[in-house]
Amino acid sequence: MNTYTDYLWFNTKKRQEFVRITDEVAAIVKTSGIADGLVLVSAMHITAGVFVNDWEEGLIGDFQTWLEKLAPAGLPYRHHQTGEDNADAHLKRTIMGHQVVLPITGGALDLGPWEQLFYAEFDGQRRKRVVVKAMGN
């Protein structure tokens, strides 16, 4: 049984941005040499997430509109009494999920036809990290 660990770095131009990372994670899995197992992809910052969904610009816009409705920016959050202004980012990432575990089969990500992996940034414009850890034979 082998493990292989790598990290992806992000520094988004916009405060909120969804970045497709399917290819980057697939490349890490290939480098790992693992033929069969699991790979964890997990945001290491608490105002960002990782999720699987469709690679379609309209839907990405729908997600962002929807998250703003469910977890609006600019409310008088108690967290902001500490000097922070990003409580909504913590809530939004909770809706989207902060990590996924993907299956590796035959040396590659075992994904359905429309499954794409995304990094979801909700308080960007600074350097942040995602851990990618593969484990298997």
Question: Which residue ranges make up the site for a copy of itself (CB under 8 A)?
Answer: 1, 3, 5, 36-38, 40, 42-46, 51-54, 56-59, 61-63, 66, 70-71, 77-82, 87, 90-91, 94-103, 105, 110-115, 129, 131, 133, 135-137
The nearest distance, CB 18 to a copy of itself, in angstroms, is 12
The answer to whether 136 and 1 have CB atoms below 8 angstroms apart is yes
d(CA 129, CA 43): 6
The nearest distance, CB 79 to a copy of itself, in angstroms, is 4
The nearest distance, CB 27 to a copy of itself, in angstroms, is 18
The residue among 26 and 52 lying less far from a copy of itself, judged by its C-beta, is 52
For β-strands 17-20 and 99-105, DSSP reports them as unpaired
Tokens of 31: 């480098």
The nearest distance, CB 20 to a copy of itself, in angstroms, is 13
The residue among 30 and 53 lying less far from a copy of itself, judged by its C-beta, is 53
If DSSP states are collapsed to H, E and C, what string results for 73-127?
CCCCCHHHHHCCCCHHHHHHHHHHCCEEEEEEECCEECCCCCCEEEEEECCCCCC
